A and B are shown apart, each in its own frame.
Chain A
Amino acid sequence: MINWANFISQCFNGLVLGALLALISSGLTIIYGTLGVLNLAHGAMFMLGGYAGWVAWSYSGSFLVAILAGSLFVMLVGLLTERLIIRYFYARPPEDQLLVTFGLGIVFVEAVRFFFGSLSKRLPPPDALVGITPLGFMMYPTYRLALLGIVAAALVLLYFVLYRTRIGMIVRAGIEDATMVSSLGINVYRIFMLVFGIGAMAAGFAGVVNAPVVAIAPDVGDAILVQTFVVVVIGGVGSFPGAVLGGLIAGEIISITSMFNPAYSYVMLFVAMTLVLVLRPHGLLGTASRE
């Protein structure tokens, strides 16, 4: 017997969860789509964003400063990582790329553990967003509502950059055919570095805005990484709209399944991914040429 109040609540909850997954996944998917590198350090970058934000908040007490600091710091980490390490791996086999990004992830996590310890840190939401808001059908934490708005705004901004600017056009062209873009006289390497930076920034931004919800710890990115991979696979590799759609689907699956039996939430997520892989191997909005 379905409790309809709970069903609506869970659908809404899935929306918030999905939006966050969409944001993190979009960073992962544009990096993979453009550079062809599957960034296994993406979860660690999400975590770095949270810590950078927390440090900034500890000094300034401002949530806005925390968001800026977290995003920019991780973008810087992304730019440096691409310039100093990833660039030397474009010509190497995919397994080398996986290993180097996986290794980077471990380095980031253990460095943070070394400096900050294993106890989790709290980054409180801004005072105006503390508390609970009645939505009629349910009471919902105000900050999570705001999070939905913040994440939606970030996604719109990312969409604008990718689809309404010249750089975005080059990036999208690079996703479709990097060789052609390069032969048109565009410095692909600079674009690659920028894309890696933007993708990392998306993860870092998500890490900060998610911190008040879950508290931050060195391995906060591990579980997220797995979920974002599922999202990318469902949505289609390299597809920004796919990442958004995949994120929302994943969020809804996790939330709605939990209504019937929470233990199966993640099982159902992987069932959905398997179905997509069988029926539409390049994902819902992906195309075969991108892989």
Chain B
Amino acid sequence: MSKFTLPQETTPPISRRDVLYRGAGIAGTALLGNFAGVQWAYAEDKSAIGTWPAGSQGDTVYIGAAVPLTGTYAAQGEDELKGWQLAVEHINTNHELMKKLAPKIDKGVLGKKVELLSADSAAKPNQGVQVQQTFINQKKIILMTGSTSSAVAVALNKFAQREKILYMPGISGSNDTTGKDCVRYGFRQGFYGEMAANAIGPILVKTFGKNRKAAFMTPDYTYGHTTTKSVEDYLTKNAGWTVVTNQVSPLGTQDFSQYLTNIMNSDAEFLINVNWGRDAVLSTQQAKQFGLIPKMTLVLPYQIPFIAKEAGPDLTAGVFAATDFWWTLEDKYPLAKMFVDAFRQKHGYRPEWGAENAYVSFAHWARMVTQAGSFYPPDVIRQFEKGETIPSLLGDVHYRPQDHQCVRPVVIVRGKAKKDMKNNEDFWEVVEIVPGDTVIQPPDAFGCKPGDYT
């Protein structure tokens, strides 16, 4: 550039000033171009979203749990919390079990310690959302969890999508959570109404035959309505059962006498109790007081942690239930055994399915984040959506990209009589482990439209 060739006679001479201008122009354009290029790439994949990147810039990343510690679901909520706490502890200490579920953890995820924050949701949607909002404001949480009530799960689903923060519900039995209310930012590990119905239905029909009469007890919110419908659909369409009455009660009912009186005056042969938490314990105990049990056969389509402990094995003996996990599966699955041992050592009792679901949810999240190598939420979502086969406590599972539901086994258990119990927590025997893909509905059956990544 230092030397100019002399102009030919036919072309006009270029002034030094022009050269200066053009040079500056080219240089400037190049610079701008580069700069614009950087900007463009940033905007395409990694502009700040939700609590990213602020939430993962320190030494610690935070997870917020809105879990019922009071009210009808308090006992189950406490159990879930213990599962999450154990998972976080195992992530931060490279526990052998966690290493098997999420091999790339290294005393934390992506070089950060994980810390769990929790507060009471009382199983109320507005309280759950408030709790998470506080955690976002104060600690910039990068993952939300909690629910136990699907009403909370659905609310937190919407909240997760709005705030662009990942959400893994704890226990959530409603079809809607990964159905019509599904979101891009939500992933459910556990089983739910439709899977439970399709798993327990065939066993009920095989055991009790066709054309039977059933009464339902249903809690009055999304979990109850969708689960009752799924079980009812299975039994009426496949085996000609009739539903003689469906008693819908509000969450937190204590005296079920008026509902039970209606059932007593029906000619039901089966009492299908969809109530959950303490509602299930109370309604079942009172059904016995009214003589409905053992006159009618009790069925629990969506098993409740601790129901056998609280209501007593007299009530649950012989009862069929569908569940996510029961501790005697440790005999069959080595990872289940490791979990039961670790949990029992820490808490002094064998875990029920709330704790299992909680633990595995976090393990799967840790796996996805470490595999993706990024906390950036769309990267983690896409990692889940690859639908890779991954381990769980009950063998291999995978998440469906369409609705973010984990395709996992449903366990059918039957209550043991007291005399058959081998220890004081040996309440259920596993009757069957039903593969998830045989009981799950097509991904579009419940109207899931997950929404955007950003």
Task: Looking at the assembled complex, report how far the CB atom of A231 sits from the nearest CB atom of chain B, in whole angstroms.
Answer: 14
B254 touches A214 (CB 8 A): yes
| A17 at the binding interface (Cβ < 8 Å) | yes
B290 touches A215 (CB 8 A): no
B257 touches A119 (CB 8 A): no
Bound complex: CA A222 to CA B74 (Å): 14
Task: Looking at the assembled complex, report how far the CB atom of A158 sits from the nearest CB atom of chain B, in whole angstroms.
Answer: 22
A224 touches B281 (CB 8 A): no
B262 touches A6 (CB 8 A): yes
B265 touches A262 (CB 8 A): no
| A138 at the binding interface (Cβ < 8 Å) | yes
Q: Which of B84-92, B198-206, B233-241, B244-252 contacts A (4 or more CB under 8 A)?
A: B244-252
Interface string of A1-40 (1 = CB under 8 A from B): 0010110011001101100000000000000000000000
B282 contacts across to A, CB distance below 8 A: 120, 214-215
| A270 at the binding interface (Cβ < 8 Å) | no
Taking Cβ atoms with an 8 Å cutoff, the residues of B that contact A are 69-71, 74-75, 78, 220, 247-250, 252-255, 257-259, 261-262, 264-265, 278, 281-282, 285-286, 289-291, 306, 309-310, 312
CB nearest neighbor in B for A14: B258
Q: Which of A139-147, A149-157, A173-181, A198-206 contacts B (4 or more CB under 8 A)?
A: A139-147
B255 touches A213 (CB 8 A): yes
A13 touches B71 (CB 8 A): no
B75 contacts across to A, CB distance below 8 A: 117-120
B289 contacts across to A, CB distance below 8 A: 132, 141, 143-144, 213
| A82 at the binding interface (Cβ < 8 Å) | no
Known: A6-B265, A10-B261, A258-B259. 12 other contacts (CB 8 A): A3-B265, A17-B258, A109-B70, A113-B70, A118-B74, A119-B75, A120-B281, A122-B312, A144-B257, A217-B278, A223-B254, A262-B259
A-B contact pairs, 8 of them (CB 8 A): A10-B258, A120-B281, A141-B289, A144-B257, A214-B254, A215-B278, A263-B220, A263-B248
Partner of B262, one of A113, A218, A258: A258
| A255 at the binding interface (Cβ < 8 Å) | yes
| A48 at the binding interface (Cβ < 8 Å) | no
| A220 at the binding interface (Cβ < 8 Å) | yes
Q: Decide if the interface of chain A is mainly helix, strand, loop or mixed.
A: helix
| A266 at the binding interface (Cβ < 8 Å) | yes
B71 touches A219 (CB 8 A): yes
Taking Cβ atoms with an 8 Å cutoff, the residues of A that contact B are 3, 5-6, 9-10, 13-14, 16-17, 109, 113, 117-120, 122, 132, 138-141, 143-144, 213-215, 217-220, 222-224, 254-255, 258-259, 261-263, 265-266
Bound complex: CA A4 to CA B42 (Å): 73
A254 touches B258 (CB 8 A): yes
A219 contacts across to B, CB distance below 8 A: 70-71, 74
Most chain B CB inside 10 Å of its own CB: which residue of A218, A255, A262: A262
A141 touches B264 (CB 8 A): no
B262 touches A266 (CB 8 A): no
A262 contacts across to B, CB distance below 8 A: 247-249, 258-259, 262
The 9 closest A-B pairs by CB, nearest first: A118-B74, A6-B265, A258-B258, A141-B289, A132-B291, A263-B248, A255-B258, A214-B254, A118-B75
B306 contacts across to A, CB distance below 8 A: 119
Bound complex: CA A225 to CA B36 (Å): 65
Bound complex: CA A13 to CA B258 (Å): 7
B286 touches A139 (CB 8 A): no
Bound complex: CA A13 to CA B260 (Å): 10
Bound complex: CA A214 to CA B333 (Å): 39
Bound complex: CA A218 to CA B120 (Å): 15
B69 contacts across to A, CB distance below 8 A: 118
CB within 8 Å for A118 and B248 given contacts A17-B257, A139-B291, A259-B262? no
B264 touches A139 (CB 8 A): yes
A120 touches B258 (CB 8 A): no
CB nearest neighbor in A for B71: A219
Bound complex: CA A117 to CA B78 (Å): 10
B310 touches A223 (CB 8 A): no
CB within 8 Å for A138 and B258 given contacts A120-B281, A215-B281, A263-B248? no
